[in-house]
Amino acid sequence: MLSGLSNLALLRDARSRRSSSYDRSGGNEDSVRFAPGETREILRTSGAGCVRHIWMTTKGPEEALLRRWVIRMYWDGEEHPSVEAPLGDFFGMGFGMNRNFVSAPLQMSPGEGLGMNCWFPMPFADGAVITITNDGERTNTLFYYVDYEEYDRPMVGAATFHAQWRRENPTDGWMDPSRRAELQSDVWKVWKLPEAMNPTGEGNYVLLEAEGRGHYVGCNLHIDVFERQVNDWYGEGDDMIFIDGDPYPTLSGTGTEDYFCMAY
């Protein structure tokens, strides 16, 4: 796939297309209103192509609005979606929040993250469908662009894009709650307990389960602490990636904060 400014001058055999919520009358009512429980297609196309960019913004009367919307994507006539997630989580922000952030594949900006963008390329060989569902209890409004390309033939060697959303509430922990008061004074002692040692990943929170040929491109992880305590930060949970049925981690990390390119 082409990427980077160095490729801007290269000609390609592609036809640019867009599906959007623009006002068909030529006015400025560039949005679609969804009744509670309503699902609409925002893209349906046939043949080979690739989604290149998705932009959205929403408005509505409900709290945590971005958790009320659900986005689903279907490639090549499949019955079950390859992508299924709340809208805000799909664009990189959990708990129904809008916040400004910028990354290469995802961003929310400006003005409290109201404009949501996805730049992941999403190729398809024989058609694509993207739907949005309003799972809220009120009528909510969506503005959107889906920019995509059409090709005469499928891209060679291209995988299809998949995204899972999952939640555990509350998240299971390994420590006996009855020992919490005893261990509050020395958080380093907690990490040296025998029950804290976990070389196999047993009982870990699962980010992804997938089969078949492909590659993992990353995740966004959102954590809330309902009961404050001394040792309540999100770090030190080692990431473990098991590839092709390996019984022990193929890739082992040094802590959640390190996996997300930070440090203690």
Number of H helices, E strands in the chain: 4, 15
- pLDDT reported for residue 175: 67
Q: How far apart are CA 244 and CA 247, in angstroms?
A: 9
DSSP lists the bridge partners of residue 163 as 83
Q: How far apart are CA 145 and CA 21, in angstroms?
A: 7
Q: How far apart are CA 125 and CA 46, in angstroms?
A: 9
Average pLDDT over residues 29-42: 97
**Mean of pLDDT over the chain:** 90
Average pLDDT over residues 242-264: 92
Which token pair is 244?
């092709």
Q: Would you put residue 63 in left (φ > 0), alpha (ψ -120 to 50) or beta?
A: beta
CB 120 within 8 A of CB 105: yes
C-alpha 244: how far from chain center: 23
Reply yes or no on whether the pLDDT at 177 is more than 70.
Answer: no
Reply yes or no on whether the pLDDT at 1 is more than 50.
Answer: no
Q: How far apart are CA 239 and CA 216, in angstroms?
A: 14
Which of 23-27, 65-69, 145-149, 201-205 shows the lowest per-residue confidence on average (mean pLDDT)? 201-205
Q: Which domains occur in the chain, in start order?
A: 5-164 (2.60.120.1390), 169-264 (no CATH)
Got the DSSP string for 111-165? TTTTEEEE---EEESS-EEEEEEE-SSS-EEEEEEEEEEEESSPPTTPPPP-EE-
Higher-scoring residue by pLDDT: 164, 178: 164
Got the DSSP string for 29-65? ---EEE-TT-EEEEEEE-SEEEEEEEEEEEE-SSTTG
- pLDDT reported for residue 55: 98
- pLDDT reported for residue 184: 67
Task: Encode pLDDT of 182-223 as tens digits.
Answer: 766 676 777 778 877 888 888 889 999 999 999 999 999 998
Cα-based torsion angle of the residue sequence 257, 225, 60, 34 in order, rounded to the nearest 10 degrees:
80
Single out the residue of 130, 113, 20 nearest to residue 69, CA to CA: 130
Single out the residue of 163, 164, 180 nearest to residue 232, CA to CA: 180
Which of 31-35, 39-43, 106-110, 222-226 shows the lowest per-residue confidence on average (mean pLDDT)? 222-226
Reply yes or no on whether the pLDDT at 84 is more than 60.
Answer: yes
Helix (H, G, I), strand (E, B) or coil at 240: strand
Which of 21-25, 76-80, 170-174, 199-203 shows the lowest per-residue confidence on average (mean pLDDT)? 170-174
Task: Encode pLDDT of 157-169 as tens digits.
Answer: 999 999 999 998 8
Reply yes or no on whether the pLDDT at 118 is more than 70.
Answer: yes
- For residue 224, what pLDDT band results from cuts at 50, 70 and 90? confident
Reply yes or no on whether the pLDDT at 245 is more than 60.
Answer: yes
Average pLDDT over residues 42-71: 96
- pLDDT reported for residue 80: 97
Helix (H, G, I), strand (E, B) or coil at 169: coil
pTM: 0.91
